[in-house]
Amino acid sequence: MEILLEKNVPCPMRDGTVLYSDIYRPDMEGEFPVLLTRLPYNKDLPMFSHRYLDTNRLVQNGYMVIIQDVRGRFASEGEFYPFFHEAEDGYDTVEWAAKLPFSSGKVGMFGLSYYGFTQLLAAVERPPHLHAIVPAMTLSDWQTDAVNDQGKCLVGSSETWALESIAPDQIKRKSRNKEEYTSMMLKMAGYYNNIEEWYSYKPIEKWPPLKDLGVAGFFYDFITNQLSEEAQQRMSIIHKYDHVDIPAYHIAGWYDNFLQATIRNYTQLDNKTKGQRLLIGPWGHGVFGSTLGERSFGLHASGDWIDYQEDLTSLHIRWFDAILKEKTSSVMEEAPIKLFVMGTNVWRNEYEWPLARTNYTPYYFHSEGQANTCYGNGRLSVEKAGSEPHDTFVYDPSNPVPTNGGSTLFAGINTMGPRDQREIEAREDVLVYTSEPLTEPLEVTGPVKVKLWAKTDAIDTDFTAKLVDVMPDGKAFNLTDGIVRTTYQDGVKQEGSTKDTINEYEIDLWATSNVFLPGHCIRVEISSSNFPRYDTNLNTGKTMVTSKEIKEAKQTILHQNEYPSHILLPIIE
């Protein structure tokens, strides 16, 4: 089949702003369902516009594919402000696409990350001709999921995104000539090449790379949390799930920085709208290979050969065929959830999240006890702690615990996925609690939390937790992690101080699926920093966003009868 391409087709918005799209369609007579994606990363760059899908195959299977630059980006008119206009612009684009020549009038949407969220924001508006979406690795709320999570600034990812992904086109738009553009881009490249050093700059509200380049003004609105109530509402679907009334196939990764948000989108919509599906692989953000970090999960783990059955493009085709073409398709008969269980490295079908057969089991922290074959200075077991001495460490914000893999999205070397944590665990400011080697397989699948009783001599501080799978040879691979800021409760900043008081903290480690095999150990790390995934807490009551003064903090972790610090594991029998 020949494919026709129409470049830069104008699409007028309700306020007169014109957005531009590239349209791919079969070179033949007929009417075809439309598959639309809307992104800020340049429709002319296949790395971003097509990413993990073969759009040629979509067209060859009888679809018209439309890739659009969102408002204020690349070919499109207007001023870019992340997500502010995406709901209305998404509605207008869907309805425009439905009326194009050769369109059947039925529209589906696809895309990940930013262009996963453009789907959900459009769906909230209920355009009559939008029938199905596939939001992959995306968010629920821009501010919480991507910038500032309950007081903790996602410094690495937000600075990387603003400088690497957004600044170049803004520089081009403001440059008066080619020479000025070239000069500014070389300056931007200099900042980006040294971005790992710039992560430590404080106060962030004066971050030199963007200030010097004179771009991404919205970055400072986000970082300083100066968004208007209208802007916050426009950049979130948290309170709008009941507005979505179409099927959605959600795609996630155990090491994706939007894992929590994607699971939230699925579970919330599944409670309200029929036809929700969820796929979770051993993947990072936009990374669908069979290897990630320092681990290999087998060829069947790859998005190119899921369970030796199909690739992600084929999955999209089956999904859209069933809904947009009303074809008989196995996708509608399959279990609503397909997840990859690490350790045993198998795909498995499930019917609810969390799994109904979950046995939530506390594993308690203990002071150093009888040595075992797994490295660690504390014990982890199902037995409650008795009268035991507490553990202490000193947290110095000038020397934070470095991020070493995990569910991350920022520039750096091997920042994502499972990585050996032994060098981290050797630090004096990291407490390590390790179980005895297992004699039988133990599966952990579902949400993971740590209940921590702790005390600090700082006005405000952070506590972090990490779940680790320790191999028989001593390698310690991270599974999932979390952080809590002590002056926040239920997402709200509390007045006063937590200094010198024993408090109970709940640390949300998101979710994972892993079988700890015989000979392996379960390990939990406790500390007070994970930088630059999160900003370092200055221990002064102020943050890196507005201040640079720091104070060391003495941290105390308790594990006794009345203070039973533990990790709550979702055990699958």
Residues annotated as catalytic are: 113, 256, 285
* 297 φ, ψ (degrees, to nearest 5): -110, 0
Tell me the CA distances in angstroms from 317 to 31, 103, 269, one per residue in order. 17, 17, 22
Greatest pairwise CA separation for the chain in angstroms = 79
The whole-angstrom separation of Cα 244 and Cα 121 is 9
How many CB atoms lie under 10 A from the CB of residue 229?
A: 7
The whole-angstrom separation of Cα 108 and Cα 130 is 6
For 303-368, give the DSSP string.
TTSBTTTB-HHHHHHHHHHHHHS----GGGTS-SEEEEEBTTTEEEEESSSS-TTEEEEEEEEE-S
Tell me the CA distances in angstroms from 334 to 245, 318, 396, one per residue in order. 20, 12, 51
The whole-angstrom separation of Cα 544 and Cα 205 is 8
The whole-angstrom separation of Cα 82 and Cα 363 is 42
In sequence order, which residues have a C-beta less than 8 Å from that of residue 294 and are 6 or more positions away?
405, 414, 417, 418, 419, 420, 477
The whole-angstrom separation of Cα 523 and Cα 109 is 41
The whole-angstrom separation of Cα 311 and Cα 304 is 4
The whole-angstrom separation of Cα 82 and Cα 382 is 46
Report the chain's terminal Cα–Cα distance, integer Å: 51
Peptide bond into 354 cis (omega under 30): yes
The whole-angstrom separation of Cα 173 and Cα 360 is 54
> Could you tell me which residues are beta bridge partners of residue 346?
341
How many CB atoms lie under 10 A from the CB of residue 202?
A: 22
